[in-house]
Amino acid sequence: MINVIRARIHQKHRTIRFPDAPPPAMPERFRGRPRIDATRCRDGFRICAAACPTNAIVFADGKPLVIDLGKCLFCNDCKLACPEAAISHSTDYRLAVRQHQDLILEPDAALVLAEELGGKMKKLLGRSLKLREVSAGGCNACEADVNVLGTVGWDLGRFGIQFVAAPRHADGLLITGPVTQNMKSALLDTYTAIPEPKIVIAVGSCAISGGPFIDHQEVNNGADSLLPVDLYIPGCPPHPLTILDGLLRLFGRVDDTKIALKKGE
């Protein structure tokens, strides 16, 4: 026991203090919110759009290019293909939104980050949120980053947010994966079993749009083709901090004035 106490004293506080303090700095290699510099492009982003494996980059002559973050895999193919470096990634992890249309990122436009739940839902769920997670055909990447939130470094439970084993004990549903045909009925049954009122959270590009499997006959192109989604958290997979930030924004727990990002982000 003495050795355990000594180890804890040596290790000190291991849980991040977010959101009451700025989060740890993200590494330079982290691929966060994309940046679009239309002034650097000379071919209308055709090369970048052609390189995108999920057609997340949409453009038309005379209209500004946009990136659908719900489809984006953050794979860096567009950046590597662009000779003018017109598209790049910042280290801004804040990506969660409430409406699907808010996932459309335009040049020089701010992302409409998730707003908190309405009065009644916040009153019911604001101090305790129990979630049932369903992996609807995922590759386990998003699932792994969701599970990380339960470790000592993140301690999701301190916010009153926990994952439960039975849908009847849940307040909401957290979905990962592209919703394959063989998981469709299981997902719908789980949603039905959760008592009203309930919320639905889609985590990762697969759960939002189908990800790299978009339009395949064996997937349903994400959760909102079947269920009403209250929170979209893009990424492939989204960083644990991206997921935590989105969950806390539902309850108005994030103060952006406390978040110190590097200059240019």
Query: Which sequence spans correspond to the domains of the chain?
Result: 119-255
How far apart are alpha carbons 76 and 30 in whole angstroms?
11
Angle between helices 141-148 and 240-249 (to 10 degrees): 70
Q: Cα angle vertex 241, ends 101, 248, to 5°?
A: 65
pLDDT for 263: 42
pLDDT for 20: 86
Asked if 81 and 122 count as a contact pair (C-beta separation under 8 A), the reply is no
pLDDT for 64: 66
pLDDT for 62: 57
**119-255 is a CATH 3.90.1150.10 domain:** no
* pLDDT tier, 202 (very low <50, low <70, confident <90, very high otherwise): very high
pLDDT for 43: 63
Phi, psi torsion values for 169, nearest 5 degrees: -100, 0
pTM of the model: 0.91
Q: Helix, strand or coil for residue 146?
A: helix
Q: What is the pLDDT of residues 58-97, one digit of tens each?
A: 875 556 678 999 999 999 998 888 888 888 899 999 999 9
Is pLDDT above 70 for 44?
no
* pLDDT tier, 258 (very low <50, low <70, confident <90, very high otherwise): low
- For residues 43 and 36, the model is more confident at 36
Is pLDDT above 60 for 262?
no
Residue 104: burial class (beta carbons within 10 Å; 0-12, 13-18, 19+): middle
pLDDT for 216: 93
Q: What is the pLDDT of residues 144-198, one digit of tens each?
A: 999 999 998 899 999 999 999 999 999 999 999 999 999 999 999 999 999 999 9
Q: What does the mean pLDDT of the chain come to?
A: 88
pLDDT for 264: 43
pLDDT for 261: 57
